[in-house]
Amino acid sequence: MDRMLVAVFDTESKAYEGKKALHQLDNEGSIVVYASAVVGRNADGTTTVRQSDDPGPVGTLIGTSLGALIGLLGGPVGAAIGAAAGLVGGSVVDLNNARIGEDFVDDVKQQLVPGKFAVVAEIQEDWTTAIDTRMEAIGGTVFRRALSEVRHTVNEEDVAAIKADQAQMKAEHAKAHAERKAKLQEKINQLDSKIQAHLEKSKQRRKASEAQEKAKVEVLKAKAAALKAKVAEIHN
């Protein structure tokens, strides 16, 4: 199962140990780490990325779900970290992009107070004991949440409401005098812009989802190739 994982630690060095432990479990075949980063919570509530994975397919992954979560953990100001750390990649930082619930973000924020650090990772795991045992031994508090399905459609209720308002204004526009027509037309144009913005947001979310799935496939292919090479080496 694909999950978002956050392990919170009291010190930065412990967080690095946690990240190392995650990748050791990956090497052992217990889990798959698609992308990971070490973050710290600042006194002003923003989040600083201390260490992230190398660019490449994983970097593309960080630009979607993981980057969105890091932005949410940092709050409105923290959402701007993407420009400096290469984590958000221009995607809209919201719960839909992070693919987790608001309660999960709130739970992590309560633990990840200023001065603490965390390993944030998108992983695949079939059982939780392996990670929990390693993280708890280092002093980490683990939070995890299965990733929700990506919504490929716009918010139908919002769009329907906007279109209803627009239809009403168009009906009034047809009967209005010249001066009133201009004002109504301006409002109609504004509503049309909102509809287009909804459609564009849906399009960007779909593109991010497709890029993320392709990146995951590349990560899994690389792991399969490495395993095949090891097996061949043993037999030779």
pLDDT averaged over every residue in the chain = 77
Residue spans of the domains in the chain: they are 2-149
Residue 29 scores a pLDDT above 70? yes
Look at residue 112 in the predicted model and tell me its pLDDT. 93
Q: Which residues contact 79 (CB under 8 A, 6 or more apart)?
A: 71, 72, 88, 93
Q: What does the pLDDT look like over 30-64, one tens digit per residue? A: 999 988 889 998 888 778 888 666 444 444 444 56
Predicted pLDDT at 113: 92
Residues 6+ apart with CB under 8 A from 136: 142
pLDDT at residue 136, as a whole number: 92
pLDDT of residue 135: 93
Q: Decide which of 109 and 45 is more confident.
A: 109
Rounded Cα distance between 143 and 229, Å, is 35
pLDDT band at 151 (very low <50, low <70, confident <90, very high): low
At residue 170, the pLDDT reads: 87
Six token digits for residue 119: 């390993």
Token digits of residue 16: 């690095």
Is the pLDDT confidence value at 183 over 70? yes
Closest CA to 120 of 208, 55, 39, 58: 39
The DSSP result for 18-43, as a single string, is HHHHHHHHHHHTSEEEEEEEEEEE-T
Least Cα distance to 65 among 41, 33, 87 occurs for 87
HSE-up (13 A, CA, CB side) for residue 182:
2
Alpha carbon of 98 to those of 16, 126, 145, 169, 187: distances in Å? 23, 21, 11, 36, 33
pLDDT recorded at residue 65: 76
What pLDDT shows up at residue 90?
36
- C-beta neighbour count of 230 within 10 angstroms: 10
| Whole-number Å distance between alpha carbons of 67 and 41 | 15
